[in-house]
């Protein structure tokens, strides 16, 4: 049976890692708004986490700072999650149980054991609360400079 290559592999191979990291940090920080998992990030404050997509090859490096995710392209990672793109996709879309992905060694955590285990447990307990996210996002917009300007015009 012929399988087609994952269409996401090409951009991961040709676009520089810092661009992917910048996009991913923006998306992750936006998705963390109003989510319970954001309250658990301070446990990892200051930690540098790398994602190594082995079939791309692509290395994305982040630092957790004050409950947010920031790019850390030149920093040495304390924890690295390594695996193929499809397994990261299964993890992100919750189509596969994180414990299964790690137990079967399709995703591997290397480095600081305590932080790696905490990160794995965070990923395992991750549930996206869409309603809370929308409410928090609108609250953030309402309290922003743009929101105040709009209210003044109405």
pLDDT digits (tens, 9 = 90+) for 38-62: 888 889 999 999 999 999 889 999 9
Q: Given a cut of 60, is residue 110 above it in pLDDT?
A: yes
Token output for 91? 């993890």
Architecture per CATH, 9-127: 2-Layer Sandwich (3.30)
pLDDT for the residue 149 = 62
pLDDT digits (tens, 9 = 90+) for 65-104: 988 999 998 889 999 999 999 998 888 888 888 889 989 9
Report d(CA 109, CA 82) in Å as an integer.
6
Q: Given a cut of 90, is residue 119 above it in pLDDT?
A: no
Report d(CA 42, CA 102) in Å as an integer.
23
Give the H/E segment covering residue 63: strand 58-65
């Amino acid at each position: 049976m012929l399988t087609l290559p994952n269409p996401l592999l090409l951009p991961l191979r040709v676009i520089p890692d810092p661009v992917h990291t910048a996009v991913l940090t923006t998306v992750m920080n936006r998705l963390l708004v109003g989510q319970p998992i954001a309250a658990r990030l301070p446990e990892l404050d200051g930690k540098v986490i790398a994602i190594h997509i082995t079939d791309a090859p692509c290395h994305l490096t982040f630092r957790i700072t004050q409950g947010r995710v920031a790019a850390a392209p030149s920093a040495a990672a304390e924890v690295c999650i390594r695996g193929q793109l499809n397994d990261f996709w299964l993890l992100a879309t919750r189509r596969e149980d994180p414990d299964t992905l790690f137990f079967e060694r399709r995703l591997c955590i290397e480095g600081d054991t305590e932080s790696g285990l905490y990160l794995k447990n965070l990923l395992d307990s991750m549930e996206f609360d869409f309603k809370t996210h929308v409410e928090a996002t609108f609250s953030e917009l309402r309290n922003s400079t743009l929101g105040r300007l709009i209210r003044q015009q109405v």
